[in-house]
Amino acid sequence: MSKRLYNWTMSLAESPRAAWGLAAVSFAESSFFPIPPDVILVPMSLAKPQAAWRYAAICTVFSVLGGIVGYGIGALLFDTVGQWLIQLYGYGAKMDALREAYAQWGALVILIKGVTPIPYKLVTIVSGLLAYNFPLFVLLSVVTRGARFFLLAALLHRYGDQARAILDRHFGTFMLVVLAFIIFGFWIATRF
């Protein structure tokens, strides 16, 4: 089953519409969707290592655009959609601590959480809710999301053949690691 899933994933990664799927997931993940774009970025970059930089750029641009939507949810729709998302991700009781953290370390919070497994949508919604400086938020989002995706692209570009050989043999383990990464990010988000 793992081999079939791997073959299916790689064939999707090589399809002409894969970049649009990557853009959609990158956009959605920054505002409401729980799955990070890395799940698509990795197979796409392994299927076409020469395009890894373009894929990282797509992830960065659409992640920042999705972050702007998340910011809008926090700024304009917090009492409805924003409150629901914050409660869903377990941050409801931590709003006072977040306000304090943003007041003292706002830029650092955005930069650090943008590259960690902590769901970035929490950063975007809280930034909007707390009316964090919007142009600075966009700039910091470009820096942190770009760093994350371009670092991954650099690794995949450089070690793509070896990574694909390992993935050929251990795709099931890779999927478990991705799942653990997602769960760990949500766990961290609810603890800190």
How far apart CA 187 and CA 145 sit, in angstroms, is 21
Boundaries of domain holding 32: 2-191
Structural tokens at position 156: 């995949």
- The answer for residues whose C-beta is within 8 angstroms of residue 8's C-beta and 6 or more apart is none
- Could you state, in chain order, the average pLDDT of each consecutive group of 10 residues for the chain (192 residues)? 62 79 90 80 82 93 95 87 74 74 84 77 86 94 93 82 71 72 64 58
Residue 56's closest CA among 158, 178, 173?
A: 158
Predicted pLDDT of residue 64: 96
105 HSE (CA, 13 A, CB side): 11
Q: Which residue has the tokens 């890894």?
A: 52
Which phi and psi (to 5°) does residue 178 adopt?
-60, -45
Best CA proximity match to 61, nearest among 148, 155, 145 = 145
pTM for the model: 0.78
Dihedrals φ, ψ of 124, to 5°? Answer: -65, -45
Domain count within the chain: 1
As given in the structure block, the two tokens for residue 55 are 């894929």
Smallest CA-to-CA distance from 5 within 185, 179, 160 is with 179
What letter represents residue 160's amino acid?
G
For 37-84, the DSSP string reads THHHHHHHHHH-GGGHHHHHHHHHHHHHHHHHHHHHHHHHSIIIIIHH
* pLDDT for res 5: 59
